[in-house]
A and B are shown apart, each in its own frame.
Chain A
Amino acid sequence: MTVIENSAIEEIIYKYKLDNGLTVYIMPKPGYTRQFAIYATNYGSNDIKFLDGKHREPVEVPCGIAHFLEHKLFEEQGGSIFERFSALGAQANAFTNFNMTAYLFSSTHKFYDCLNLLLDFVNRPYFTDENVEKEKGIIAQEIRMYEDNPAWRVYFNLLGALYKNHPVKNDIAGTLESITGITKEQLYLCYETFYHPDNMAIFITGDIDREQVIKTVKRSFADKDMPRRGDVKRIYPDEPADVAQPLVKQQLAVATPMFYIGFKDSDIGMSGNKLIKKDIVTGLLLNMLIGKSSDTYQSLYEDGLINATFEKDYTGEINYGFSLMGGESQQPLKVQDRIMEAINKYKQSGLNINDLDRVKRKMLGDFLMSLNRIDGIASAYIAAAFKDINLLDYPKVLDDVKISDVEERLRQHFDEKYCAISIIEPKK
């Protein structure tokens, strides 16, 4: 057991590594009414080609299979897992993103029963030809819903413009075509490859008894034989540094055009401290360039080129990353020009140290505020841990950033050749 503590912010996390490889994080939150647990595998929609550790040849599976698998784990012989959580009064859910699939519940009583159920159902798949077929109708409607959703489309169209080969350009749920062919054999194959405890972690938080939690987790695995697997290797195609296409447009039933400007990260292939630092530096930089307190944001807003929907964000994963900024605008291309202009100006003039100090205080505040939400912190912590990041290091890493770090990142990342824009136009 390792103790991960940040006394300045009054948070402590206990980390355990079980014999079968599972990592367990326990974060006591005295006074909280809810208990929350999230059990996740380091496996997401990007993992469609891999060596499974048994066969010599790589396996390729349909897009959307990780998400399909997530839906299907909620089924068991003769019933649904939802029903068993309902009987305990807990709210269960799950989500799949590019890199992770997570199963979670929130309870206010019978916590240890819920925890046991969570581990039990995720560790016990039950797929039949019939229940796989039935799910296709439900997921088809989920995909349809996203196809009509302009906020979703503008995002995925941007990824399609930034990436030529990398699977991050694919929709997480797949397409109507790709899910049609999914079979129970493929689901079992993916399950066996990626749902081994040594590829998984569980994060538990709330006003809980640490000893009892760890006892419950260990007991759940006691009767399960989980031999070490062969080495699993994920295979990602080669991806050029430049964007696939600089502009992509789609027409949908919207009132005002929507847009995202993206910058593809060419400085990739890192994890741990290097990755969290890059994440924070890029976040600071985005705030300084185009945050609400920047001259560029205010002048775009006053000229009516952007409105309150404007946002910016950086996504930093081990093998890919991108910055994006956007919202609604009558003239997205003009916004892009103005932002490029500002970037080039800052590259000449350098950044202001007072701005950096102020934006650091803002990001520290944002981080502290995020600690109020136990479900949010659990998901964020586990996602970071899969990248060898300890999220409680955030304040320290933030504090250590120097103006030269930010300026270097500005020159390296915000370059025209890494930039693409995605626009959703109103349908005439």
Chain B
Amino acid sequence: MDISTYDYRLDNGIDLHVISTRKFKTIHFNIFFHRALNKDTATLNALLPRVMKRGCQGFRDTIQIERFLEDIYGADFDADVLKKGERQIIGFRLDIVHPKYTGDDALIDKGLSFLNDIISKPLTIDEGFNQDYVEQEKQNLKDLIEGLINDKAQYAVERCIQEMCKGEPFATYVYGSTDALPGINVNNLYEYYKDVVASSPVDIFILGDVEPDAIRDKAEAIFNWPRGTVKRIPKEIIKKTVTEPKEVVERMDVLQGKLSLGLRTNTAPDDTAYPILMLYASILGGGPHSKLFLNVREKASLAYYAYARLEKYKGLMIISSGIEIENYKKALDIMLEQLDEMKRGIISSQELDFSKKALTTSLHSIMDSPQQLTDYYLSNAIVKKHSTIDQLIESINATQMDQVIEIAQRINLDTIYFLANKAMKGVEKI
């Protein structure tokens, strides 16, 4: 079954992308507001959707919203902030069941009008948001930021990035910082809101069994917010030379150590070599066929998981694993050895072949998931590169071994981060 995409520009300059396919039982609406990532506004960007989703003029409190969503067959609504490279994206998402399964033909109109209410008709008093909602959501956001430590694997990756990117916008946490919360009030948050709606680049995605031109007309009629001058998002600085890798050991009350390595790939997402980098990361740590899985887990039995993944927009690669604390040196040595093998071109044709196949399968699989499809096209919108999934697969499969070895020379270890416990001795310097 075909997937066709249609790109429109609405009258007020908003980009609308319609992804038309009949294979899902649902229709998915996503509205993204792009903001530059920096520590001054990160917390505002994280708080704003949390306050906005609590109520609006059409649905004055959260219980009304929830009852409305249940009434339209359990529509799934959320508003949150994403981090993609050095941009934060405030996203509003509504998934509904296709009207043909419910007999309610007005579902699409109800959904669009609800999203518009949430975004353009917030609940305000005297140029400020609702006091209760702001205070409650400030507390919830504080808990969320502090809750990063709950998931130790994620914490170790985040801390590695913070250490590696000190002084760069990318070090900013997706939800901002608790320090910024006391300075936010109902009025300055509302001021900020107006700027977000007026000046952010906006992408709207509508995915499902819809008629593209008809849905465009509906969207244009309803999302007709007045807009000001749109602020461009600065491009990330990708290239960085590292003289000596940094080593950071942090201690917490844990049983298992978490080892994270941060690397600079010096390759931007719009670089023609980006598909080659994807292949590099897959060979190194992209699944059970990879060097990290085979050597750290299967051969040495040191870990349950060991992987490498790319941070596409900032040109970083993160290696991550959970190990016995006393095995720090052993695991690190094996990882460094794999990186070295990649640089020296010790890569078998089987490794190259398996990685091409693994990437082909996971890229093809995107087409079966509404969320992943939306994310793929959002990524294209960010990078301003309009390659289809099939084109990307083609470039990956056309890659030669020497190109992988060539890209390996660009990749440099920047930071070694280890989350250990208090009992760990003698690893201050290795």
Contacts and interface: CB of A to CB of B under 8 A. Distances in A.
Nearest to B290: A86
B288 A86 contact: yes
A427 B253 contact: yes
Interface string A99-112: 00000001111000
Nearest to A36: B368
Contacts of B353: 87
B301 to A, nearest CB: 3
B304 A138 contact: yes
Given A31-B1, A372-B26, A254 B149 contact: yes
A359 interface: yes
A145 B297 CA distance: 14
A192 interface: no
A18 B287 CA distance: 35
A144 B25 contact: no
B357 A149 contact: no
Contact of A361 (B73, B132, B136, B144): B73
B324 A141 contact: yes
Interface in A132-169: 134-142, 144-145, 147-151
A150 B361 contact: no
Given A33-B368, A362-B73, A91 B252 contact: no
A371 B25 contact: yes
A325 to B, nearest CB: 16
20 contacts: A8-B101, A33-B367, A80-B288, A82-B288, A82-B289, A83-B288, A86-B358, A87-B350, A89-B358, A91-B287, A141-B322, A142-B304, A147-B255, A253-B254, A301-B62, A301-B136, A307-B140, A361-B72, A364-B74, A372-B370
A359 B370 CA distance: 25
A138 B365 contact: no
Given A141-B323, A359-B70, A255 B302 contact: no
Contacts of A87: 350, 353-354, 357
A256 interface: yes
Contacts of B21: 31
A253 B70 contact: no
A148 B254 CA distance: 6
Interface in B124-182: 132, 136, 139-140, 143-144, 146-153
A404 interface: no
Given A301-B62, A365-B102, 5 more contacts: A33-B368, A87-B354, A89-B361, A258-B150, A304-B139
Contacts of B73: 361-362, 364-365, 368
Interface residues of A, number: 72
A371 B98 CA distance: 12
A372 B26 CA distance: 8
B76 interface: yes
B358 A373 contact: no
B412 to A, nearest CB: 28
Given A34-B365, A361-B70, A151 B1 contact: no
B289 A362 contact: no
Contacts of A109: 361
A256 B147 contact: yes
A295 interface: yes
Nearest to B299: A134
A149 B151 contact: yes
B63 interface: yes
B71 interface: yes
Residue of B66, B72, B297, B370 most packed against chain A (CB within 10 A): B66
B23 A145 contact: no
A197 B354 CA distance: 32
Contacts of A92: 288
Contacts of A333: none
A145 B302 CA distance: 12
A366 interface: yes
A147 B71 contact: no
A293 B324 contact: no
A75 B370 CA distance: 35
Contacts of A365: 72-75, 96-97, 102
Contacts of A427: 253
A361 B74 contact: yes
Contacts, number: 189
B152 A148 contact: yes
B368 A32 contact: yes
A125 to B, nearest CB: 18
B218 interface: no
Contacts of A151: 150-151
Interface string B1-45: 100000000000000000001111110000000000000000000
Contacts of B153: 145
Contacts of A242: none
A373 B367 CA distance: 11
B289 A86 contact: yes
A144 B255 contact: yes
B95 interface: yes
A108 B146 CA distance: 41
B74 A253 contact: no
B298 interface: yes
A368 B73 CA distance: 9
Given A88-B357, A141-B324, A108 B255 contact: no
B110 interface: no
A291 B67 CA distance: 10
B379 to A, nearest CB: 18
A255 B369 CA distance: 34
Contacts of A368: 25-26, 73, 97, 101
A253 B151 CA distance: 10
Nearest to B101: A368
Interface string B74-95: 1110000000000000000001
B288 A134 contact: no
Interface string B291-324: 0010001100111110000000000000000111
A298 B55 CA distance: 13
B377 to A, nearest CB: 16
A427 B304 CA distance: 26
Nearest to B152: A148
A374 interface: yes
B71 A361 contact: yes
A362 B362 CA distance: 32
A31 B23 contact: yes
A295 B365 contact: no
Contact of B354 (A86, A292, A366): A86
A263 B224 CA distance: 49
A215 B132 CA distance: 63
B268 to A, nearest CB: 28
